[in-house]
């Protein structure tokens, strides 16, 4: 076994990781920028809105602080702030039910490792947030999917039951959903609760977009369903609702003490989450209204503007999401990734191009999502409408457009 001039191979698990579509398209976007194109980035859920003003004040105020390790589970101030926040949403939890994480991504990873062993199956409705696939793989889990219903409605209890096997250890939902906007109703959650109780498995619930719901109150939390204390593990984040992706603060919440002990053990291995951000989210989480309602109203207007503009395009089908801030559009093309690449490489309107996310990587079932794209509503309605216009013109000019 001499390495010589051969590059030492990395692990098989890393060689098997899916390459994100954005990674494949990023060089084309960079190249387009070098050619002087302006790009409307509809491809990433990076809000353009500002965090609550109290966040900046808190950061400035903490600047001279001694930068010591926070406790692994989180600063008491941050844990208390989450408790108060959840209480405001009618959910009673204690600081011991919470561990502060580096964003929802770490929360998800810890939740998977705490609840599942390598080889266990995790069931995820499809399509799903693309990085779930890699996170599942790194945790050593087998990913099984159940398709969402027509119009991206939650899968039926029957469909879920049929997809559960003796190896299934957890179901992972995301509500409001990235990318589909699906909001699980209280009835949906009650039905899911019955299933996880009967089968003795965990319900992991990613509630990152909780308040961003367009027709009614915030999405009900899995924590609000009675009798599920042992089963429910909530993944949460301040990134989207409080416009602070770059702070990387999430949380994991469960009333199952064994789960929280396991999560705390895992959290101890990475020691702590940064102090400055934990202090700042204590401020963000108590941001006085109308902060959140303004955020929600902003996304409602944007989603409506984009859906309206897309629906007018011949051959495009588009579903108005119930929440979140993504819109999925079905295009008259056979391969939306090729189209997205073409949009960056070969098309512009007055020097302006659009970058979109092909949906195929949000599915694992082969062939699904091939004609779909995901668009993030992270610009004002005028920009989104202009972007839809560029998309329309692009489709008209696209050599591989599918005939009606």
Q: What residues between 200 and 259 interact with its own copies by CB under 8 A? A: 200-202, 230-231, 243-248, 256-259
Angle between helices 336-346 and 21-34 (to 10 degrees): 10
Cβ 95 to its own copies shortest distance, Å: 15
CA–CA gap between residue 204 and residue 213 (Å, rounded): 20
277 contacts its own copies (rule: CB under 8 A):
yes
Size of the site for its own copies (CB under 8 A): 85
CA–CA gap between residue 75 and residue 97 (Å, rounded): 14
3-11, 87-95, 322-330, 353-361 -> range binding its own copies (CB under 8 A): 3-11
Q: Is residue 143 a contact partner of residue 163, using CB atoms and an 8 Å limit? A: no
For 2, 3, 10, 88, the CA distances from 7, given in Å and listed in that order, are 11, 7, 9, 55
Bridge pairing between strands 372-376 and 357-358: antiparallel
34 contacts its own copies (rule: CB under 8 A):
no
Quick one: 124 exposed, middle or buried, by C-beta within 10 A (0-12, 13-18, 19+)?
buried
99: Cβ–Cβ under 8 A, 6 or more apart, which residues? 72, 73, 74, 107, 110, 251, 252, 260, 263, 264, 267
Cβ 269 to its own copies shortest distance, Å: 5
- Touching its own copies, residues 82-141 (CB under 8 A): 102-103, 105-106, 109, 113-118, 120, 131, 134-135, 138, 140
Q: Which is nearer to its own copies, 375 or 390 (CB)?
A: 375
Cβ 240 to its own copies shortest distance, Å: 11
399 contacts its own copies (rule: CB under 8 A):
no
Q: Which is nearer to its own copies, 57 or 334 (CB)?
A: 57
295: Cβ–Cβ under 8 A, 6 or more apart, which residues? 49, 211, 212, 241, 243
Nearest to 356 by CA among 380, 391, 332: 391
Cβ 267 to its own copies shortest distance, Å: 10
Binding mask 353-372 for its own copies (x = CB under 8 A): --------------------
Q: Which is nearer to its own copies, 252 or 309 (CB)?
A: 252
Q: How many separate helices (H) and strands (E) can be counted in the chain?
A: 13, 13
Binding mask 172-191 for its own copies (x = CB under 8 A): --------------------
Cβ 334 to its own copies shortest distance, Å: 27
Cβ 87 to its own copies shortest distance, Å: 24
403 contacts its own copies (rule: CB under 8 A):
no
Return the number of other C-beta atoms located less than 10 Å from residue 75's C-beta: 20
User: Three-state SS for 205?
Assistant: strand
Which of residues 31, 92, 187, 198 is near its own copies by CB under 8 A?
198
14-22, 150-158, 323-331, 351-359 -> range binding its own copies (CB under 8 A): 14-22
Q: Report how far apart the first and last C-alpha atoms of the chain are (Å, whole number).
A: 58
64 contacts its own copies (rule: CB under 8 A):
yes
Which of residues 159, 276, 292, 393 is near its own copies by CB under 8 A?
276
């Amino acid at each position: 076994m001499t390495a010589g001039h051969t590059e030492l191979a990395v692990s098989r698990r890393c060689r098997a990781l899916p390459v994100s579509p954005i990674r494949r398209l990023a060089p084309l976007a960079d190249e387009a920028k070098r050619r002087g194109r302006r790009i409307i980035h509809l491809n990433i859920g990076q809000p353009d809105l500002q965090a609550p003003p109290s966040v900046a004040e808190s950061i400035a105020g903490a600047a001279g602080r001694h930068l010591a390790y926070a406790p692994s589970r989180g600063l008491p101030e941050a844990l208390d702030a989450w408790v108060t926040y959840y209480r405001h949403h009618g959910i009673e939890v204690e600081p011991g039910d919470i561990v502060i994480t580096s964003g929802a991504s770490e929360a998800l990873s810890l939740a998977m490792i705490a609840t599942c062993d390598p080889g266990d199956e995790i069931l995820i409705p499809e399509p799903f947030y693309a990085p779930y696939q890699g996170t599942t793989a790194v945790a050593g889990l087998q990913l099984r999917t159940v398709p969402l219903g027509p119009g991206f409605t939650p899968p039926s209890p029957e469909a879920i039951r049929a997809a559960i096997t003796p190896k299934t250890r957890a179901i992972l939902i995301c509500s409001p959903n990235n990318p589909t906007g699906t909001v699980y109703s209280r009835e949906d959650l009650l039905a899911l609760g019955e299933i996880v109780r009967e089968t003795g498995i965990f319900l992991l619930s990613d509630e990152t977009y909780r308040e961003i719901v367009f027709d009614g109150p915030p999405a009900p939390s899995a924590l609000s369903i009675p009798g599920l204390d042992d089963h429910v593990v909530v993944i949460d984040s301040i990134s989207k609702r409080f416009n602070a992706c770059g702070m990387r603060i999430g949380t994991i919440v469960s009333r199952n003490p064994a789960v929280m002990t396991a999560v705390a053990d895992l959290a101890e291995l990475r020691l702590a989450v940064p102090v400055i951000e934990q202090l700042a989210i204590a401020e963000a989480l108590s941001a006085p209204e109308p902060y959140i309602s303004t955020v929600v109203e902003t996304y409602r207007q944007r989603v409506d503007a984009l859906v309206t503009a897309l629906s007018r395009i011949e051959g495009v089908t588009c579903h108005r999401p119930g929440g979140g801030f993504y819109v999925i559009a079905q295009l008259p093309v056979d391969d939306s990734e090729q189209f997205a690449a073409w949009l960056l490489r070969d098309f512009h309107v007055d020097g302006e191009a659009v970058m979109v996310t092909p949906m195929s990587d949000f599915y694992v079932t082969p062939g699904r999502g091939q004609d779909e794209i995901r668009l993030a509503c992270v610009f004002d309605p005028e920009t989104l409408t202009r972007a839809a216009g560029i998309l329309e013109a692009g489709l008209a000019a696209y050599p591989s457009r599918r005939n009606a």
